[in-house]
Amino acid sequence: MKLILLQDVKGQGKKGDIIEASDGYARNFLMPRKLAAPATADVLNAKKIADEAAARRMKLEKEAAQKLAEELKNMPVHIKAKSGAGGRLFGSVTAKEIAEEMQRQHKVEIQKNKIVLEETIKNFGTYQVKVKLYPEVVGTVKVVVEEQN
């Protein structure tokens, strides 16, 4: 019997896969537990339409992320911080602070977990910080840490 999986099934496949299973296994195990449904023409057509819509959505999201990555190159983020002993930064600049300043200065909302700090920012100066916008799209933002008066 041809089935479409509604959930991941160990040893059979992942959600959305079309599998061939014996009639007894399908009727007595998979279908009563709502793990699979018969793969009729209507179901297969609906799956095809849903897959195409998902592909279009992912393409649009990736294009938007690439556009934002280009815009980030021209958006320096200025962060004012207190100085500690020896003219060094008091504490460090975190991804959360960078995200908040981007929101405040440029009205660009980026989640703090998308900001990649390869090293902790503990000194005043200019840093290039990577921002993961999409799985294959990484932007770079210029962060300028200045002393607070």
| Assigned token pair, 102 | 């981007």
Nearest to 34 by CA among 72, 79, 4, 63: 4
State yes or no: pLDDT of 87 exceeds 80. no
DSSP at 136:
T
Q: Cα–chain-centroid distance for residue 127?
A: 23
Amino acid 84: pLDDT: 77
* Domains of the chain from N-terminus onward: 2-60 (3.40.5.10), 67-147 (3.10.430.100)
Backbone φ, ψ for residue 108 (5° rounding): -110, 120
pLDDT tens, 90-112? Answer: 888 999 999 999 999 999 999 99
| Assigned token pair, 80 | 């004012």
pLDDT tens, 29-56? Answer: 999 999 999 999 998 898 899 999 999 9
Please give the model's pTM, rounded to 2 decimal places. 0.70
